[in-house]
Amino acid sequence: MPPRPDHLTELEKGAHFTPVSVALVGLEGHASYVLAGVKETAGIHLVGAAVLGEQAEAFTAEHHVPVYESIGALLEHCSVDVVAVCLVPNRHGATVLEALRAGKHVITDKPLVTDAEMFARVVDESARHPELEIGMLLALRGNPRYRAVRQIIQSGAIGTPALAYAKRAAQLRRATRARWYFDRRLSGGLMPDLAIHDADYLTWATGLRYQQVSAHEVNVGNRDDQYMDDAGAALFQMETGIPALIEYHRLLQAPFGKMDCRVKIVGTRGQVEMAADGPVTVITETERTTVRDIPPAQNVFVDFAEAVVAGRRPIVATSDTFHAMAAALAAGQSARDGRTVTIARF
């Protein structure tokens, strides 16, 4: 049996919990992650949905909630604490603005936005509603092995971080994935749509923010598609001056499985590393050990919903969402312009 999420443990211990009403907008991307969190968590209730297209009737039959054609209609008819947005990414920003103006906390699938202009609008609107949180489904923060790596770093076991590295490789699956995955005008591009997970994770794991980035992206396998890139790498400079390198592509071969993800943090007294489907290993000057104490999984959507209603900081707070988004957009800009780009700090 897999380990139970942290939030269930808290409930079983009798921790105070306020019920949460959630509305879902869209069924793209990681909507299933949101729905799983609702299903598995006592006290989180799905009260409505919107913008589901041809899937609306089937969704109503399965989940027994009303479905509306627009977020405006949903918010007019449903009492909602948190809006979860899982649309085609280029539609996220406008939906976030509407939710904020209606006084709702909002969490989106990644990326939050697909361009700098919409990002600036969301940041400005957020400043008008400081009481509202904006989250993003940066699920590595809830992944057991990634959490274990962070615990090792934060414990000081490998000393001061000196180098950070991550890899995110995916199969193309062009025949089965929605078209928007392969169109940067809709998805935001390789870094905002794919490697933003790792860009966020490295800063969360090390506790360091990014200052600048130099990135390169290329289309090798699909040269007839002008709006697609299939491979890239980004070199970030973190606030202490250390490098953080992320490589990412959609050229993974089938024997690897659907994903090939890795992370390594080198410190002044050792290093910690892992592959997503392998052990967490710590190497110091005297020994090499496999970490056995792996923390349980944590659904970042569930944590966000519980936190904003309870008045505590979620694991992915507004500042985290904005910093990850700023880093991802800067990497995309660097790849397009061929220059190093400074990253705004949030």
Count CB atoms within 10 A of the CB of residue 191.
31
The reported pLDDT for the residue numbered 6 is 44
The reported pLDDT for the residue numbered 7 is 44
Query: Rounded to whole angstroms, what are the CA distances from 307 to 23, 90, 149, 300, 328?
Result: 16, 27, 24, 10, 25
**Which tokens is 267 given?**
């410190």
Tens of pLDDT, residue by residue, the chain (346 residues): 233 344 443 443 345 568 999 999 999 999 999 999 999 999 999 999 999 999 999 999 999 999 999 999 999 999 999 999 999 999 999 999 999 999 999 999 999 999 999 999 999 999 999 999 999 999 999 999 999 999 999 999 999 999 999 999 999 998 899 999 999 999 999 999 999 999 999 999 999 999 999 999 999 998 888 999 999 999 999 999 999 999 999 999 999 888 999 999 999 999 999 997 889 999 999 999 999 999 999 999 999 999 999 999 999 999 999 999 999 999 999 999 999 999 998 9
The pTM (predicted TM-score) of the whole model is: 0.93
Tell me the domains of the chain and their CATH numbers. Answer: 6-139 (3.40.50.720), 144-296+315-342 (3.30.360.10)
The reported pLDDT for the residue numbered 2 is 33
Count CB atoms within 10 A of the CB of residue 255.
5
φ/ψ of residue 265, rounded to 5: -120, 120
Which residue, chain included where needed, has tokens 């039959």?
A: 61
User: Is residue 49 helix, strand or coil?
Assistant: strand
The reported pLDDT for the residue numbered 17 is 65
Alpha helical stretches, state H, the chain: 6-12, 31-40, 56-63, 71-77, 92-101, 116-128, 144-155, 184-187, 190, 196-206, 300-310, 318-337
173 conformational bin, left if phi > 0, alpha if psi -120 to 50, beta if neither? left
